[in-house]
Structure 1
Amino acid sequence: MSKVKYYYDSETLSYRKIVPKKGKNFALGVLFFVGIVAMSFVLALVYLNIPNVETPKEKAYKREIENMRFQYELLNKRMEDVVSVLENVEDRDNNIYRVYFEANPISEEQRRSGFGGINRYKNLEGYENSEIITETTKNLDRLSKRLVIQSKSLDEIATLAKNKEALLASIPAIQPVKNDDLKRMASGFGIRMHPILKYRKMHNGMDFSATTNTEVFATGNATVKKARRSSGFGNLIVLDHGFGYETYYAHLEDIKVKPGQKVKRGEIIGHVGNTGLSTAPHLHYEVHKNGKVVNPINFYHGDLTAEEYDIMLNQSALENQSLD
């Protein structure tokens, strides 16, 4: 219950009751409210501008931003470790794998090139941590591109390896008859006196003297291209080894294969004979590369030592008379 206040009236010499005016009370109330609002605003401005003073929400945001920066830095470090491993793989790829399989190395410019054209990172700009976010994204893009290039290179190497394996199995690499003591090599590649025509002419292969019915072997994996009688070569077999290689086996006693048949290196395809333009039982053997005759002496690495190769090389160089 509010107190009743009085005042002394000097005219009537008596105390009168003080009656408060309604309008004045209202004005005082409004003034008091405005004062509180103004004071709150001033205090808020002072609080927000005091150094090192943060709201709980600001502190939470700051912790989140710091954690994000730490995670980005950690991600960049992990990418550096991956790049280090990738560089080692790229080095081996260029200097070992691609050299072995005779493939051109991939240039550093191609491996490390960036992305041209428009600014693909524009949407990452304008923020407090745009720099680290943009740099991390660029590093990740570059790493991804290098991984794609290296992956394609390894796919190519895998294909080359399969082809290399097939090439090594298919290329002529052994002597077509057993010749352990190297005494069966009768005439080599080059200009020789023809035994029947009696003039010097190019001898496109090597002659191996042997008794009739001596086994003749395929010198590499191949497909039989020809297996028939020929006027000059007598019974003739031509093998297609792929990769541009073909081998000829002439003057055979018999033929043990058919056109289109697949044969393996060392497989018996016929026997030594004396058919066609021949003066004695022997095998005339030729190697063709991309349609041109080449010296067969270069294709016995599969069963000759270095010393044996020198012996055969010297024998093949003698300009004696051929047997066909």
Structure 2
Amino acid sequence: MHHIQEYQQLLEKQIQSLELPKEPKNLYDPLRYFLTLGGKRTRPSLTMLACHLFGSPGIKAINAALAVELFHNFTLIHDDIMDDAPLRRGKATVHEKWDRDIAILSGDVLFVEAYSLLAKHDAKVLPQLLSIFTRTAREVCEGQQMDMDFESSNAVTIDEYIEMIRLKTSVLLGAALEMGAIIGGAENKEDIKHIYDFGVNVGLAFQMHDDLLDLYADPDKFGKQVGGDILSNKKTFLLLKAYEMADNTTKSKLDTFLNNQSGQEKIDNVKDIFEQLGVRQKAEEQKDLFYQKALLNMQEINVPDANKKELLDLAKYLMSRDH
């Protein structure tokens, strides 16, 4: 996977050397701070890998890749505000370190900066890139709104949950790849659709893996509290599947644990119900279904198999990560 490491290093260097104005300090300092918190730079690497997939050097897609990463960071700053999260990657979130209003405005500037980077691309591909980027930005907002609506709803279905994670998480992976493919010279509409669908299905499998990790990860490797989703009554695939499979007595027990308990006791009791119902296995099966769909999408793309290896290796890694 030498290209991805090369791309990640290059992206990191470019992000750290972004020329942001010095003033007003309270607008730009939070961005400098947030962008140094690191992260795997997976999404922008996908853009460069997709460019390479279609026979062009990945560097050709650097500005679109950076736009994807800045947009992703904009969503993280705003998500942290909405979730009232105190920490991001172990450091204080922007709204905690400065304040809520500064965080909102700083996030907005990051979104604008993403567009200005995207606009550096060749006029031949720019209309397509802008169309993809704008559609995706709107969809991510729709997914976030659905996620917030779910918090106060007692009637969320698994299909609705999957649609929410498709919008909130997966479409950005799909768009990152789609833009890279277009910059890389992909002209066949079917190939472009298949690379987009590959990203969406990898994204869905990735989120399933995330739901599982939250409860079943090794605490020493995970980096945050195992069982956090249960503590906050988050409607994950595991919880929704449990409600779908449970009889009335078990549902009633589950309600009691979720609404009246806290701490490790709550995690252990809910986890016991999950074990009894076999929801972990169902989540693993669902994850694998999306992953297999992604592999089929990649199979359909009309480029040499050797070009596909790094994207397939990355997808495989995302399915088996432990934190």
Shorter-chain TM-score category?
A: under 0.3
Higher helix proportion? 2
Task: Identify which of structures 1 and 2 has the higher relative contact order when contacts are C-alpha pairs closer than 8 Å and 6+ apart.
Answer: 2
Give the number of the structure whose alpha-carbon radius of gyration is greater.
1
When normalised by structure 2's length, the TM-score is 0.18
When normalised by structure 1's length, the TM-score is 0.18
